[in-house]
Amino acid sequence: MPLPDSPDHAATPAPRISDLARARPPGPDYLEGLNPEQRQAVEAIDGPVLVLAGAGTGKTRVLTTRLAHILATGKAKPWELLAVTFTNKAAREMRERITAIIGPTAEGLRWLGTFHSIAAQILRRHADLVGLKSNYTILDDDDQERLIKQLLAAENIDVKRWTPKHLAGLIDHWKNRGWTPDRLPPAEASQFANGRGQALYRLYQERLRILNACDFGDLLLHNLTIFTSQPDVLAEFHNRFRYILVDEYQDTNVAQYLWLRLLAQSRQNICCVGDDDQSIYGWRGAEVDNILRFERDFPGSTVIRLERNYRSTSHILAAASGLIATNKDRLGKTLWTEADGGEKVVVRGVWDGEAESRLIAEEIERAKRGSTDRPARRYRDVAILVRASFQMRAFEERFVMLQIPYTVIGGPRFFERAEIRDAHAYLRLIQSPDDDLAFERIVNVPKRGIGETTVQKLLQIARAQQVPASIAARQLALTDELAARTRTALATFLRDLDRWRAEAERIAHPRLMEMVLEESGYTDALKLDRTPTAQTRLENLKELVQSMGSFEDLGSYLEHVSLVMDLDRGPAADAVQIMTLHSAKGLEFPLVFLPGWEEGVFPSQRSVDEKGEKGLEEERRLAYVGITRAREEARISFVANRQVYGRWTSQLPSRFVDELPLANVEAASETGYYGGGPGMQQQHGSRWDESSSFGDGYSSPGWRRAQERNYRGSHPGRQPVLEGEGRLVAVSAPSHSSDYARGDRVFHQKFGYGEVTGVEGNKLTVTFEKAGEKRVIDSFVERG
């Protein structure tokens, strides 16, 4: 299929009024206000360029201005630019910001998107070259795992010992490295189920091809196969892409690197922007090496360092720089700022996790109030960045109790919910009758009396005859092999499918979705469903139908959801943001709390165990990312005792605490417990004890006492903070719904006794009887 010579409007969102209103002719003024390095990065158009953009140095501005500049100089048309990002959010932001500079011309940037969305487009055009049809489906990880599970079952592999998840992880890893089954290195090929890894990988790919489907890794991998086996196709793209721009280059995996190198190979006009110090995705295949090697990969390249930071005060910047300097594997940058010193980074040791959340909550309340020498902050100016999500709970509990508004960023996503996946399975099956995974998913959802036995029988026929499951179902419905009831059920289902397929030609896809949900009995089943989540699910489905409206047709909608696994949410409320360090990348906040800096928690024990020094360096980069999120204040804390999986454990301060430059750090001592613990000095050669700037230092037995007392089971941290009896359990109730029911009497430390009036998923609604007033808040209950 030839490439169109004009922008493909179907693939780009329609311009919004607000963007058009902002549109103005491109003038040289877009270069104004850039510092010399930024300007160089914008103007060095030809040849390979690596822009090392430190945290807060105006990276996005450089990227967008550079694109605008290329267009303004007439060196390329919008559709001749390839601009890749990792996330949809980044792509969206880039498009918006370019539109702000150049106006509606930005619509023509049809090759601006994520690696995966661009690879998917390329694959649609050339699917036949890898044995797929251009309407192939993209499987989500749920489908992928079910497919692998079937495969393992068919191969008589013990799925207890060799889990589908494990193999899915391996295959993903292999694809990230750009290895097809044939190219698998021997050491890798012999992995899994006594050396059957390679064979299973091959079988899996075979199954995908039969299903006319591919997984996320395939999008890139198939591109590589096409490019390397069909020079003419590659040449076509060489001709097309005059300039290539890559964001977050430090996060590229091998497959993405090879993909870029192939595309850049003829013109060499590739500009990669990234920061080796912010590479935090090694565990999902990112290779810091790619950025470290750039100059060797692209001879004659220009390297530009953006080192002027516009975000943080100098103490914060210096603390972060001092910490990251411990890493060996880096290209090296010296960030600087013209901002004044500001406040030092505060480091504190506290008693336990509860005390830590109490302290942080108090400080947030203080910050919110403001004082004579400090402006009052809004809640949304504050972020709590944790290493792992299990650390979030303590803060949520505290905030609910104190009624501090908060949002947790991350967590389960809209399109990953079961009901949404079910709905999509219906749509997929309507669109492509041979989507067996979709068929299996919903053939008995809602329950229509087609049980596991029938499905297995059906799949057997399908496999024996090499036909899709729906064809096999049609045959089976004609024979008398099934009980009359089952046969009728199956026939009805097939007839419904046919009808929907016919309707799909005529009616709008949101209407189709409604029709399917109604006629299949899905909504009815949910309405009758008395489990607490049913209501939410119905609402989710309504939201789904609504969100479909903004797409042209069913096909583009399905393509969108498989590549963009999230929904655009409304504007953020004024709330404290709780998130992991990983999801904080790219964000900034005036006040940042960094709790849980303890050995084993951060750096994560597992990282260090599995990846050794490399893992440790990545953890340190994570710490660097954390500190550099702060504009004005950064507060690090660690505890003496922490509950991990219900067990009390003694903690030592993170080695990262010791690596912070003393001059930029202030050790606060509100709680009386600070500094390292026994053995600390021997372990990491701490400097804190010498400086004695850190409370009473290591010579103090305070830390040891704190830990020992904990084992005796009596320490102040466990006492309730507010008056009242009972125990605070959790923000979310246990998932075992039998543990709670409507009518249960529960106790809240602030609001007193209440009654469970709603159970929704793992969240409880409690109505409190205090003061005659009914107050509904989420959870906080006492069990039993």
Partner DNA sequence: CGTGCTCACCTTTTT
Partner DNA sequence: GGTGAGCACG
Decide: is 229 part of the binding site for DNA (CB under 7 A): no
Residue of 583, 681, 693, 765 that binds DNA (CB under 7 A): 583
We find the least distance from the C-beta atom of residue 584 to DNA, in angstroms, to be: 9
Task: Kindly state the tokens that stand for 736.
Answer: 């075992």
We find the least distance from the C-beta atom of residue 699 to DNA, in angstroms, to be: 33
Decide: is 33 part of the binding site for DNA (CB under 7 A): no
Decide: is 587 part of the binding site for DNA (CB under 7 A): no
Give the interface segment with DNA, choosing from 95-103, 386-394, 538-546, 666-674 (CB under 7 A): 386-394
Residue of 32, 452, 480, 773 that binds DNA (CB under 7 A): 452
Give the interface segment with DNA, choosing from 229-237, 238-246, 600-608, 650-658 (CB under 7 A): 600-608
Measured N-to-C along each axis, helices 554-563 and 115-126 cross at an angle, to the nearest 10 degrees, of: 140
Decide: is 449 part of the binding site for DNA (CB under 7 A): yes
We find the least distance from the C-beta atom of residue 153 to DNA, in angstroms, to be: 11
Decide: is 610 part of the binding site for DNA (CB under 7 A): yes
Decide: is 735 part of the binding site for DNA (CB under 7 A): yes
Binding mask 59-98 for DNA (x = CB under 7 A): ---------------------------xxxx---------
Please provide the distance, in angstroms rounded to a whole number, between the alpha carbons at the two ends of the chain: 67
Residue of 646, 685, 713, 784 that binds DNA (CB under 7 A): 646
Decide: is 388 part of the binding site for DNA (CB under 7 A): yes
Residue of 606, 705, 770, 774 that binds DNA (CB under 7 A): 606
Give the interface segment with DNA, choosing from 44-52, 506-514, 697-705, 724-732 (CB under 7 A): 724-732
Q: Which is nearer to DNA, 578 or 665 (CB)?
A: 578
Residue 749 falls in the annotated catalytic set: no
DSSP SS3 for 52: strand
Q: Which is nearer to DNA, 20 or 418 (CB)?
A: 418
* Unique residue bearing structure tokens 């490439």: 3
Handedness of CA 344, 349, 350, 352 (dihedral sign): positive
Decide: is 734 part of the binding site for DNA (CB under 7 A): yes
Exactly one of 60, 87, 536, 765 is catalytic; name it.
60
Distance of alpha carbon 50 from alpha carbon 292, whole angstroms: 10
Give the interface segment with DNA, choosing from 33-41, 324-332, 513-521, 605-613 (CB under 7 A): 605-613
Residue 629 falls in the annotated catalytic set: yes
Task: Kindly state the tokens that stand for 705.
Answer: 């006492």
Residue of 566, 568, 708, 725 that binds DNA (CB under 7 A): 566
Q: Which is nearer to DNA, 147 or 665 (CB)?
A: 147
Residue of 9, 16, 24, 447 that binds DNA (CB under 7 A): 447
Residue of 185, 370, 410, 549 that binds DNA (CB under 7 A): 410
Residues in Cβ contact with 27 at an 8 Å cutoff, skipping those fewer than 6 apart: none
Residue 278 falls in the annotated catalytic set: yes
Strands lying side by side in the sheet with 775-778: 745-748, 752-760, 763-768, 775-778
Q: Which is nearer to DNA, 479 or 738 (CB)?
A: 738
Handedness of CA 155, 159, 162, 168 (dihedral sign): positive
DSSP SS3 for 766: strand
Which residue in 406, 412, 319, 312 sits closest to 357, CA to CA?
406
Exactly one of 387, 620, 629, 631 is catalytic; name it.
629
Give the interface segment with DNA, choosing from 14-22, 45-53, 112-120, 121-129 (CB under 7 A): 112-120
Q: Which is nearer to DNA, 474 or 582 (CB)?
A: 582
Q: Which residues pair with 777 in a beta bridge?
A: 766
We find the least distance from the C-beta atom of residue 583 to DNA, in angstroms, to be: 4
Residues in Cβ contact with 282 at an 8 Å cutoff, skipping those fewer than 6 apart: 288, 611, 614, 615, 618
Using CB under 7 A as the binding criterion, the count of chain residues that bind DNA stands at 54
Exactly one of 247, 276, 599, 618 is catalytic; name it.
247
Distance of alpha carbon 74 from alpha carbon 409, whole angstroms: 41
Handedness of CA 24, 30, 32, 33 (dihedral sign): positive
We find the least distance from the C-beta atom of residue 327 to DNA, in angstroms, to be: 16
DSSP SS3 for 350: strand
Q: How many CB atoms lie within 10 A of CB 20?
A: 11
Which residue in 466, 681, 211, 619 sits closest to 689, CA to CA?
681
Decide: is 450 part of the binding site for DNA (CB under 7 A): yes
Distance of alpha carbon 198 from alpha carbon 187, whole angstroms: 10
Distance of alpha carbon 729 from alpha carbon 576, whole angstroms: 22
Q: Which residues pair with 747 in a beta bridge?
A: 753
We find the least distance from the C-beta atom of residue 116 to DNA, in angstroms, to be: 3
- Written as one string, the DSSP assignment of 570-588 is -PPPS-EEEEETGGGTT--
Distances (CA, A) of 699 to 264, 650, 680, 683, 694: 59, 18, 11, 15, 11
Distances (CA, A) of 632 to 185, 339, 589: 49, 10, 8
Decide: is 733 part of the binding site for DNA (CB under 7 A): yes
Residue of 246, 272, 291, 564 that binds DNA (CB under 7 A): 564
Decide: is 298 part of the binding site for DNA (CB under 7 A): no
Contact 542, 578 (CB under 8 A): no
Exactly one of 278, 431, 523, 707 is catalytic; name it.
278
Which residue in 250, 261, 259, 260 sits closest to 285, CA to CA?
250
Residues in Cβ contact with 543 at an 8 Å cutoff, skipping those fewer than 6 apart: 414, 567
Distance of alpha carbon 290 from alpha carbon 166, whole angstroms: 26
Binding mask 163-202 for DNA (x = CB under 7 A): ----------------------------------------
* Unique residue bearing structure tokens 């950064």: 634
Q: Which is nearer to DNA, 102 or 288 (CB)?
A: 288
List contacts with DNA (CB under 7 A): 86-89, 114-117, 141, 159-160, 216, 283-284, 387-390, 410, 413, 444, 447, 449-454, 563-566, 579-580, 582-583, 604, 606-607, 610, 615, 619, 643, 645-646, 729-730, 732-736, 738, 762
Which amino acids are annotated catalytic?
A: 59-60, 247-248, 278, 629
